[in-house]
Structure 1
Amino acid sequence: MDLYLPVANLSVNALVIVLLGAGVGFLSGMFGVGGGFLTTPLLIFYGIPPTVAAASAATQVTGSSVSGVIAHMRRGGVDFRMGAVLVVGGVIGSGVGAILFRWLQSAGQIDTVIALVYVIMLGSIGSLMARESLNAVLALRSGEAVKPKKRRHHPLIASLPMRWRFYRSGLYISPFGPLILGFVTGILTMLLGVGGGFIMVPAMLYILGMGTQVVVGTSLFQILFVTMVTTMLHSVTTRAVDIVLAVLLLVGGVVGAQWGARFAQKLRPEYLRLCLAAIVLLVAARMAMGLGFRPDEIYSVQHL
């Protein structure tokens, strides 16, 4: 069944979009990460304009984060004080990202920048994940125990002034650290349509030194509010949010996430992380190939 996307200005197969959302939702439920960093590239591969793909993916991340935040709140897994600081930084970053988005869009470079940043970001993160997961798998096969990393904040965080107590996270650090982290995530959310959890969670663990019991819930808390603000900014400034596309993705994502969570219980976490790293690297390689392709028509006329 073909549906017309009014903002993207093209017709798509609704079943394909729902299945794409279900596939990303399945991976999200299986690996425990937001699917925004995979949704945008996959939509671009399907033919959706990068600006519409990024804006609509942010809308999908907002909807899929609600249930996760509620679940973590019920078990006390959200540090609301830390989350508030991250949200403030994320909102400011979203505003800056909106300015960058409009500037790049007016310069005609937004599509190239989105693809280039994805290649760099996914390639570096996928490489780090692959190295860590390979070491874990090799240690598992050899019977050696992997030594857990000590939880402590980075020396740069310790040098920042005006410390606050974040009781639920067990930290006594400056709020400027999480404020900067939220700021960077807000810019990425606006430009790329990602929730930022795959960057924020490792940063919260190894840079801020937060406890593992509150990291995921606090990250989802920040993602929920920042993606809400990002969606509104896209609707007002870029007008690139396609609500039909977002609804189709959300329907598939909700169903796929349930199946992914069940499937994840049957596999060891070391192999899950290795599979996720392989998927991230494959997407990065495909985006890099797209940057080097010569189009059939070098020049085209675009109606503004």
Structure 2
Amino acid sequence: MDLYLPIANLSVNALVIIALGGVVGLLSGMFGVGGGFLTTPLLIFYGIPPTVAAASAASQVTGASVSGVVTHMARGTVDFRMGGVLIAGGIMGAGMGVGIFRMLQALGQIDTVIGILYVLMLGSIGMLMAKESIQSLIALKTGRQIQARKRRHHPLVAALPMRWRFYRSGLYISPLAPLLLGVATGILTMLLGVGGGFIMVPAMLYLLGMATQAVVGTSLFQILFVTMATTMMHALTTKAVDLVLALLLLIGSVIGAQVGTRISMSVRPEYLRILLAFIVLVVAIRMAIGLGWRPDEIYTVQVL
């Protein structure tokens, strides 16, 4: 069933796009990650222009985050004060990202930069995940316990001035730390169409030292509003948001997430993590190959 995407300016098989969204949703349900960092590469592999893929993926992440945020708010696991600071930083970062995005568009390098950033990002994340997963599997086989890391914010965070109390997160730190973290995530969201949870969650745990029970809910709360703002900025400036594409992805991701959640309940988490690390590394390698592989048709999306 072919469907025309008005912004991408090409026809696609709607069932294939729904299936791609389903794969991302499946991974989300199985591994507990947003999956947004895989949406853009998969769309690029299918032939969607990188600019449209990144902008539309951000809008899809917005829709997919709503149910998660509502659930965590009902459980009381959202630190609204911390989330507000992260959102402020994220919107600032998204505004900076608009300038970077349009500058790279004008230079004709936005597609290449998106590809390079994804290779570096997925490659580093995949290697770290693989290392941690292998250590967990070895400990599982030998019966050795891995010592849990003590929750403590980074010394650089402790050195920042103007401390605030974040009661839900159990922190007494400067708001500048989460603000800067939000800025970095906002820039990545604007450029790559990712939610940023795969960076936000480890940073909240290991840099800010947040209480574990408040991390996921607060991260989703920030992702919801920052991706919403990013989508609006894309729509008003780069004109690269394809709502038809985003809707198809959202349908697939909702279905896939339900299936993935059921699978995750029957498989050990150590095996799930090593599988996710393998998938991320495969995508990174495919992106790296694509950077040096000349396509049959060369195109880009440019605002006139």
> Under a length normalisation based on structure 1, what TM-score does the superposition of the two structures give?
0.98
Partner residue of 1:126? 126
Partner residue of 1:5? 5
Kindly state the Cα deviation for residue 271 of structure 1 after the two structures are TM-superposed: 1.2
Are the equivalent residues in 1 in contact too, given 2:49–2:301 (CA < 8 A)? no
Partner residue of 2:110? 110
Structure 1 vs Structure 2 CA RMSD: 1.5
Partner residue of 2:292? 292
Kindly state the Cα deviation for residue 54 of structure 1 after the two structures are TM-superposed: 0.2
CA–CA distance in structure 2, aligned partners of residues 63 and 208 of structure 1: 27
Kindly state the Cα deviation for residue 273 of structure 1 after the two structures are TM-superposed: 1.1
**What do the CA deviations read for 1:251-287 (whole angstroms, capped 9, x no partner)?**
0000110111111011111111111111111110000
Kindly state the Cα deviation for residue 64 of structure 1 after the two structures are TM-superposed: 0.3
| AA matched with 1:294 | R
Partner residue of 1:70? 70
Distance 1:158 1:296, change over 3 A: same
Unaligned runs of 5+ in 2: none
Kindly state the Cα deviation for residue 297 of structure 1 after the two structures are TM-superposed: 6.2
**What do the CA deviations read for 1:65-118 (whole angstroms, capped 9, x no partner)?**
000001111111100000000000000000000110011001100000000000
Distance 1:270 1:156, change over 3 A: same
Partner residue of 2:29? 29
Kindly state the Cα deviation for residue 299 of structure 1 after the two structures are TM-superposed: 9.5
Q: Which secondary structure state, in structure 2, belongs to the residue aligned with residue 156 of structure 1?
A: helix
CA–CA distance in structure 2, aligned partners of residues 242 and 303 of structure 1: 14
CA–CA distance in structure 2, aligned partners of residues 264 and 102 of structure 1: 40
Partner residue of 1:93? 93
Kindly state the Cα deviation for residue 296 of structure 1 after the two structures are TM-superposed: 4.0
**What do the CA deviations read for 1:94-152 (whole angstroms, capped 9, x no partner)?**
00001100110011000000000000011011111110111001100111111111110
Distance 1:138 1:184, change over 3 A: same
| AA matched with 1:152 | R
Kindly state the Cα deviation for residue 295 of structure 1 after the two structures are TM-superposed: 3.6
Distance 1:42 1:220, change over 3 A: same
| AA matched with 1:189 | T
Q: Which secondary structure state, in structure 1, belongs to the residue aligned with residue 33 of structure 2?
A: coil
Partner residue of 1:206? 206
How many percent identity over aligned positions? 74
Partner residue of 2:276? 276
Unaligned runs of 5+ in 1: none
**What do the CA deviations read for 1:150-202 (whole angstroms, capped 9, x no partner)?**
11000000000000000010000000000000000000000000000000000
Distance 1:300 1:205, change over 3 A: closer
**What do the CA deviations read for 1:194-222 (whole angstroms, capped 9, x no partner)?**
00000000000000000110100000000
Distance 1:297 1:33, change over 3 A: closer
Q: Which secondary structure state, in structure 1, belongs to the residue aligned with residue 172 of structure 2?
A: strand
| AA matched with 2:156 | L
CA–CA distance in structure 2, aligned partners of residues 252 and 167 of structure 1: 38
* Corresponding position: 1:242 with 2:242: yes
Partner residue of 2:163? 163
Kindly state the Cα deviation for residue 294 of structure 1 after the two structures are TM-superposed: 2.9
Partner residue of 1:56? 56
CA–CA distance in structure 1, aligned partners of residues 145 and 301 of structure 2: 60
CA–CA distance in structure 2, aligned partners of residues 22 and 137 of structure 1: 28
Distance 1:296 1:64, change over 3 A: closer
Kindly state the Cα deviation for residue 35 of structure 1 after the two structures are TM-superposed: 1.4
> Under a length normalisation based on structure 2, what TM-score does the superposition of the two structures give?
0.98
CA–CA distance in structure 1, aligned partners of residues 241 and 73 of structure 2: 29
| AA matched with 1:219 | S
| AA matched with 1:57 | A
Partner residue of 2:224? 224
Partner residue of 2:189? 189
| AA matched with 1:115 | G
Kindly state the Cα deviation for residue 298 of structure 1 after the two structures are TM-superposed: 7.3
* Corresponding position: 1:178 with 2:178: yes
**What do the CA deviations read for 1:2-54 (whole angstroms, capped 9, x no partner)?**
00000000000000000110110010111111111000000000000000000
Q: Which secondary structure state, in structure 1, belongs to the residue aligned with residue 210 of structure 2?
A: coil
CA–CA distance in structure 1, aligned partners of residues 27 and 41 of structure 2: 14
Q: Which secondary structure state, in structure 2, belongs to the residue aligned with residue 153 of structure 1?
A: coil
CA–CA distance in structure 2, aligned partners of residues 144 and 207 of structure 1: 27
Higher mean Cα deviation, 286-295 or 19-28?
286-295
